[in-house]
């Protein structure tokens, strides 16, 4: 865990960190390895509430670039329905996000970048990155194109845009994906005023096939008389889609109140100033000689440039160094001034004082003391579940019968917008020797509106919620030994009244055997109001109002976690331990009957587990290097006290074995294979109608999946400003195998993949 670096703080040396945090003195500390970052590019993220900046590493690293193309994650830690850009859920519970108010976009976090993970930039020259990866052909396969552009307008203004397009035709029927994102951003970083602006528009379209009609088509193809290609295997649904359209505006800006002071220049700044002075002298001398030459030419006399001489920047040979000279032998004549009388002594003291007060080698520095912060976040969403064909008796219930929709057609439309304003006052860390921590106080107004189908005449009903919360934060982000942060927020009015969130984190860094050890801890305590769609949901085939009258009387869910992290880069070891406790856990459960290659009676319901569920997580990462041979592994062990409500695999394993070498000293090559694996457990199911992952609620028919490795073989290369790879994924597919991560949704077989990412400068 990295401590948050607020670039508006003052460090222990009394320096403003927004001008010095990018520099590093690596020496031999392995926690500060040189990163292969494009020259002149600085990257950071901003906190969604306060706009505090945290240094980040750009998405241009060559290591494991080949795995960046997988919806299943770089280390295969996600379950997914199979296609590029398809819905996914993390098997490692402590890495899952909390349920969002608009839940329909959460399964697409492979594609959607949240505000606090977006990379703002500062560049010395315009930078463009174009990335493309593909597999398959025009009938089946996947394509992913991404373009990034960043430029600066002076030192303070950074601008850029991101374009992202996914088109996964799918190796199985009726599972295509088409995602589009366009984002523009800008930042202004002045001494007194700073601002970040982010605007984006997103579209996600996913064809829903409900899974294949018989798992044996994949797991036991030998029992069929015919051989089926993957795109010939029948699926449960056809002509069914989930569509999401969303637009976002994020603005955070602050005004700093402080004072100016004189501080010594750094060695680099002194050298730069001396060079500028010398250059100015040289320029003046050249101009003088040119003027004299022209004058001589005009007067008709000869101009001897050699006789004129040349000027050189620097100290003349006969210059004396200021200060006392060493005393000579007795009787030796000395040029030192002999002080005779008070008047002469006073004159010398005045001269020395004048020299001491010379400010030519000092610079002006603005010291912020207090910041006034405002953050605006506007989110607009629309989700449509559309179907032209539905199998007979596929859904258990039908609540809306719209005459405009013929037969079994479905058109469920949900709308939601959220306008959130936060006003904060910050007392900055380190503006004097007594201010060892930064303090913030804030108040947030959150206006939410939801619209969904109803039985009223207009056909839709709107719900408006306005919540008001306030809180505070204390943090120490400067220095190298200890960092900490604690944030408390409570809700006063609105639907979320009584909700409470507390987050805390700390890290301790110390030297051990010539390297840095980091011990980090974090935790939280949340008392959460059920989200809107947990309380209310209306559609043609799903309907609930959990207000205690027509449905459940949902109580607040309480979540708490204590987590520790140990890292020691000298041995390349990391250990992560976490203990979770969930009280009154709210979740979705799905029921259906699967027989004779048909699904009937499909429905989803909201459930709340009364009581506590505990979850223990232990994650160990260990990397080894022996010459060109590298072996990187991560093993995660989890234990849930209730696998029916909160199922997780006992073990989740990723291992990567490769040779690292260079060709002609310029082409870096990683040649190897990696494997991802998890033990059997009752994996979350997926509901096309709700577009969410759910708990299996089919009793004895619940399916255990897992205990199936997926192996990829690859060559990953880096040449100057280009990254590229060639991979054969899932080389162990063969015929058969229980290659399902979600019930009835098989993973793709063996596929040849290619990808390239190129940085362009100027």
* Site of tokens 């374009």: 163
* Rounded CA separation 327/606 (Å): 93
**Residues 238-243, mean pLDDT to the nearest whole number:** 96
pLDDT of residue 25: 35
SS3 137: coil
* Rounded CA separation 61/58 (Å): 7
* Rounded CA separation 107/117 (Å): 16
Under 8 Å between Cβ of 529 and 23: no
pLDDT of residue 463: 94
pLDDT of residue 326: 40
Tokens for 401, please give them: 């019968």
User: Where does the pLDDT of residue 552 fall: very low under 50, low under 70, confident under 90, or very high at 90 and above?
Assistant: confident
Tokens for 745, please give them: 């949704």
User: Where does the pLDDT of residue 298 fall: very low under 50, low under 70, confident under 90, or very high at 90 and above?
Assistant: confident
| Residue 106, phi then psi, degrees to nearest 5 | -60, -40
> pLDDT digits over 146-190, tens only?
999 999 999 999 999 999 999 999 999 999 999 999 999 999 999
> pLDDT digits over 98-113, tens only?
999 999 999 999 999 9
Report the 3 state secondary structure along 622-642: EEEEECCEEEEEEEEEEEECC
Q: How many CB atoms lie within 10 A of CB 615?
A: 19
Q: How many CB atoms lie within 10 A of CB 131?
A: 22
Instruction: Flag whether pLDDT at 11 surpasses 80.
Output: no
Instruction: Give exposure, 255-271, as e/b (b: 16+ Cβ within 10 Å).
Output: ebebeeeeeeeeeeeee
* Rounded CA separation 229/207 (Å): 19
Instruction: Flag whether pLDDT at 731 surpasses 80.
Output: yes
Going across the sheet that includes 120-123, the strands are 53-55, 41-46, 120-123
SS3 54: strand
* Rounded CA separation 411/467 (Å): 31
More confident: 375 or 357: 375
Radius of gyration for the chain, computed over Cα atoms and rounded to the nearest angstrom: 33
Tokens for 393, please give them: 């008796």
> pLDDT digits over 377-404, tens only?
999 999 999 999 899 999 999 987 655 4
* Rounded CA separation 131/146 (Å): 5
* Rounded CA separation 352/357 (Å): 9
* Rounded CA separation 133/153 (Å): 32
| Residue 387, phi then psi, degrees to nearest 5 | -145, 135
> pLDDT digits over 189-235, tens only?
999 999 999 999 999 999 999 999 999 999 999 898 888 899 999 99
For residue 593, which of 582, 602, 580, 583 has the smallest C-alpha distance?
602
pLDDT of residue 468: 97
SS3 155: coil
């Amino acid at each position: 865990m990295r401590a948050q670096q607020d670039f508006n703080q003052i460090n222990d040396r009394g320096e403003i960190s927004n001008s010095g945090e990018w520099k590093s003195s690596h020496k031999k500390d392995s926690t500060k390895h040189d990163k292969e970052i494009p020259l002149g590019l600085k990257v950071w993220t901003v906190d969604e509430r306060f706009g505090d900046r945290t240094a980040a590493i750009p998405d241009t690293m060559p290591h494991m670039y080949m795995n960046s193309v997988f919806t299943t994650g770089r280390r295969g830690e996600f379950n997914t329905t199979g296609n590029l850009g398809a819905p996914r859920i993390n098997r490692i519970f402590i890495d899952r996000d909390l349920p969002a108010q608009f839940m329909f976009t959460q399964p697409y976090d492979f594609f959607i970048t949240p505000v606090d993970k977006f990379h703002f930039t500062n560049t010395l020259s315009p930078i463009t990155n174009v990335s493309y990866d593909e597999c398959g052909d025009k009938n089946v396969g996947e394509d992913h194109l991404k373009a990034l552009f960043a430029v600066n307008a002076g030192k303070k203004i950074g601008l850029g845009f991101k374009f992202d397009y996914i088109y996964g035709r799918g190796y199985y029927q009726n599972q295509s994906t088409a995602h589009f994102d366009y984002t523009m951003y800008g930042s202004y970083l002045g001494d007194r005023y700073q601002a970040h602006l982010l605007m984006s528009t997103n579209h996600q379209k996913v064809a829903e096939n409900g899974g294949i009609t018989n798992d044996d088509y994949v797991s036991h193809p030998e029992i069929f008389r015919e051989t089926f290609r993957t795109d010939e295997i029948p699926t449960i649904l056809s002509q069914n889609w989930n569509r999401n359209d969303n637009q976002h505006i994020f603005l955070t800006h602050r005004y700093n109140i402080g004072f100016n002071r004189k501080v010594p220049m750094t060695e680099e700044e002194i050298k730069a100033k001396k060079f500028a002075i010398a250059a100015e002298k040289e320029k003046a001398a050249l101009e003088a000689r040119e003027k004299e030459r022209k004058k001589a030419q005009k007067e008709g006399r000869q101009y001897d440039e050699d006789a004129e001489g040349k000027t050189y920047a620097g100290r003349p040979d006969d210059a004396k160094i200021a200060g006392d000279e060493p005393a000579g032998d007795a009787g030796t004549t000395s040029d030192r001034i002999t002080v005779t009388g008070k008047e002469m002594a006073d004159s010398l003291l005045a001269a020395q004082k004048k020299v001491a007060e010379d400010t030519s080698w000092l610079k002006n520095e603005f010291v912020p003391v207090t910041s006034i912060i405002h953050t605006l976040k506007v989110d607009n969403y629309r989700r449509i579940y559309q179907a032209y064909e539905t199998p007979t008796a596929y859904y258990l219930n039908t609540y809306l019968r719209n005459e405009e929709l013929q037969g079994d057609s479905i058109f469920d439309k949900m709308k939601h917008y959220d306008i959130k304003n936060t006003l904060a006052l910050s007392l900055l860390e380190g503006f004097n020797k007594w201010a060892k921590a930064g303090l913030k106080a804030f108040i947030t107004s959150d206006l939410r509106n939801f619209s969904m189908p109803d039985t009223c005449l207009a056909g839709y009903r709107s719900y408006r919620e306005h919540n008001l919360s306030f809180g505070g934060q204390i943090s120490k982000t400067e220095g190298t030994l200890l960092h900490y942060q604690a944030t408390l927020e409570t809700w006063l009015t609105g639907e979320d009244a009584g909700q409470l969130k507390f987050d805390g984190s700390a890290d301790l860094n110390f030297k051990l055997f010539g390297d840095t050890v980091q011990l980090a801890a974090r935790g939280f305590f949340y008392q959460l109001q059920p989200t809107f769609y947990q309380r209310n949901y209306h559609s043609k085939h799903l309907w609930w109002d959990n207000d205690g009258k027509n449905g459940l009387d949902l109580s607040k869910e309480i979540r708490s976690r204590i987590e520790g992290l140990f890292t020691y880069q000298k041995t390349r070891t990391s250990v992560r331990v976490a203990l979770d406790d969930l009280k009154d856990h709210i979740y979705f459960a799905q029921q259906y009957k699967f027989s004779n290659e048909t699904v009937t009676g499909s429905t989803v319901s909201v459930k709340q587990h009364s009581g506590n569920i505990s979850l223990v997580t232990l994650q160990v990462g260990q990397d080894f290097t022996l010459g060109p041979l590298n072996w990187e592994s991560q093993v995660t062990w989890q234990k849930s006290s209730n696998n029916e409500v909160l199922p997780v695999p006992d073990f989740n394993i990723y291992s990567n074995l490769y040779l690292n070498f260079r060709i002609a000293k310029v082409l870096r090559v990683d040649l190897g294979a990696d494997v991802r694996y998890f033990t059997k457990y009752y994996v979350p199911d997926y509901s096309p109608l709700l577009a969410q992952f759910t708990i299996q609620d089919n009793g004895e028919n619940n399916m255990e999946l897992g205990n199936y490795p997926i192996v990829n073989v690859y060559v990953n290369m880096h040449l100057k400003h280009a990254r590229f790879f060639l991979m054969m994924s899932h080389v162990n597919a063969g015929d058969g195998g229980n290659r399902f991560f979600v019930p009835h949704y098989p993973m793709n077989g063996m596929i040849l993949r290619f990808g390239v990412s190129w940085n362009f400068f100027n």
